[in-house]
Amino acid sequence: VNQIEETSKHKEEDDNIDGNADENYNDYYSVSEEFKINLDEKIGNGSFGQIYKCINIKTKKEYAAKIESNSTTIPLLAHEYKMYKLLEGGTGIPTVAFFNNQGVDTVLIIDLLGPNLEDIMQDTKEKKFSLKTTLMIADQILSRLNFIHELGILYRDIKPENFLVGNSLRETLIY
């Protein structure tokens, strides 16, 4: 993360970080020929590091880029990548678009999702969900946990912040 942020500071000295003449993405950090991270659009933090908006410059589709410094004491992102690959194709499981753990930072690029359940709940007038909404959420969460457990994986970090809704057409789907 520090390397990426340091590179961002020097982007004014260089028209484009990766040397390509792509004037639309000069302010982005390039992690591959396809994916560029917008360091000005931080989405959040995780136990592993930072999360930024990212774009596939060929398809123009937006993603979330999770970045972890390879100097971290307990690396978590490579394990998260392995879990996503095991769960690939399951309903409510984000798709991995890119992973690289070479160099100074580990980068995992996955589907860009909407807000988490905690944030949605805090935005309600009553600061809680209705009974109907709670039951609909519980049904989806139990379905995700059942899928994960059937693969022999025990998920122990169950909390509203770790369940997100999808974007646009999938905004009623919990991930």
CA distance 52 to 39: 6
Name, in order, each residue with C-beta under 8 angstroms of 44's C-beta and a sequence gap of 6 or more: 50, 51
d(CA 175, CA 117): 10
> Is 157 among the residues known to form the active site?
yes
CA distance 164 to 17: 32
> Which one of 15, 111, 123, 157 is the catalytic residue?
157
User: In Å, what is the CA distance from 113 to each residue of 33, 101, 129, 142?
Assistant: 23, 23, 20, 19
By annotation, the residues acting in catalysis are: 157
